[in-house]
Amino acid sequence: MPMKVIDRPLTEQEKAWLIQGLATLPTGKALGGGVWTKYYTGEVDPLGPSVDPGPFLRQIEGLRVVGICDCGEPDCHTVTFQHAAGGKHASLVYSHIEDGRLLIIDINKDTGLLAQMEII
């Protein structure tokens, strides 16, 4: 995805989306467990392990947006944080926001720090 390089603090909406997504960590629903159904079998995905959101919530105030998706899709709001560089990403949260769009929060696998948030 094409990213436009910028440098700014999080917006209040971005903070709210992060908090909403991270709130799913202790419930086991962070990666869709207990919510999503397998297409062929109709089985509901099992809940994932409970994860303490504290270490991730504490990062929010210090986050800076260093890239924003430039794909042109009107519903896309993908931002990259300063911790994205220098490592592979892993999804921490795969959920939905109130209007039904996907909310994906990634961490840098090497550092464990918040790396990216996608709203698509």
pLDDT tens-digit readout, 62-76: 999 999 999 989 999
- Report phi then psi at 35, rounded to 5: -120, -45
pTM (2 d.p.): 0.91
Q: Give the Cα separation of 64 and 66 in Å (integer).
A: 6
pLDDT along the chain (120 residues), means of 10: 88 98 94 84 88 97 96 93 90 94 96 96
Q: Give the Cα separation of 37 and 9 in Å (integer).
A: 37
Q: Give the Cα separation of 30 and 50 in Å (integer).
A: 9
pLDDT of residue 37: 84
pLDDT of residue 89: 93
pLDDT of residue 45: 85
**Residue 102's beta-bridge partner residues?**
96
Residue 49's CB is within 10 A of a number of other CB atoms, namely 10
Burial class of residue 4 (count of CB atoms within 10 Å of its CB; 0-12, 13-18, 19+): exposed
